[in-house]
Amino acid sequence: MEPVTLKVLRYRPEEEVEPTYQEYEVPCQDNWMVLDALNHVKERLDGTLSYRWACRMGVCGSCGMTVNGTPVLTCATYVEDVLPGPVVVEPLRGFPVIRDLVGDITDFMEKLGRVKPWLIRDEKKSPDEGEYLQTPEEVADYKQYSMCINCMLCYAACPIYELEPDFIGPAAIALAQRYNLDSRDQGEEERMDVLSQHDGVWACTFIGECSVVCPKNVDPAGAIQRYKVSATVDWVRSVLMPGRKP
């Protein structure tokens, strides 16, 4: 493969007023991922370049960046698939830049905690009573949403999150649905206080880009629309049958 030019956004907020782009000539090998090219820059050309990565296997979700305008996992994006160059590498949109390609994910972590993405039980079995068993059909109902790796590509692709920062966002809602649909969970009512607000599912206008860029086919847009339907049904029931628990 011919050498490839990487055009990388560089920014140190504490020292620079605005971000700038820096170009690097990288002698890419066959089957290199964009992350491999960045690692070459870091190891051979410019040790000051900052970005996140960990597993290199599309599991940890930490190497999400914007490549040629599209949010991707750089460990799962072939350089040859984003040619001809220059290959433009930028941080994920919608997150304040800490340095270079590293975004501040504090907002996402706070919102994720608000939806309580863990099993909630009003009544718990004693160890002597055994496990909470599920049928294959019950597992299948939420399994797709459990595949989320918190890579935040869906947030970077979502125009609503960029325009309305209070929107709780696609990944947090998908993970809330993962537990709402789990037969062992009894916490849907607790999550409803967050999900049913304007900044919850109702802020979504169903553009669907979050599902397009998801590397694990979680379909957060589908999770949001599914919750809208169930929330609407519960509201109608509460009007027709006051006092009835959903």
**Residues whose CB is less than 8 angstroms from the CB of residue 170 and which lie 6 or more positions away in sequence, other chains included:** 154, 155, 158, 161, 204, 210, 211, 220, 221, 223, 224
In this predicted model, what pLDDT tens digit does every residue of 103-132 receive, in sequence order?
A: 999 999 999 999 999 999 998 888 899 899
- Report percent pLDDT > 90 for the chain: 75
Rounded mean pLDDT, 130-151: 94
What tokens does 173 get?
């809602």
Domain of 178, in residue numbers: 106-240
177 lies in the same domain as 58: no
In this predicted model, what pLDDT tens digit does every residue of 20-53 receive, in sequence order?
A: 999 999 998 889 999 999 999 999 999 999 999 9
Domain ends where: 36, 69, 103? 103
Query: SS3 for 163?
Result: helix
26 near 2, Cβ under 8 Å? Answer: no
Q: How confident is the model at residue 158 (pLDDT cuts 50, 70, 90)?
A: very high
pLDDT of 69 above 70: yes
Domain ends where: 103, 118, 145? 103
DSSP H helical ranges for the chain: 34-40, 106-114, 136-143, 153-157, 159-163, 170-180, 188-195, 209-213, 220-240
pLDDT of 218 above 90: yes
Domain ends where: 103, 136, 166? 103
Q: Is the dihedral of CA 40, 68, 22, 1 positive or negative?
A: positive
Structural domain count of the chain: 2
203 lies in the same domain as 228: yes
Q: How far apart are CA 56 and CA 78, in angstroms?
A: 13
For the chain, what is the radius of gyration of the CA atoms? 21
Q: How confident is the model at residue 230 (pLDDT cuts 50, 70, 90)?
A: confident
Rounded mean pLDDT, 50-76: 96
Q: Does the global pTM surpass 0.75?
A: yes
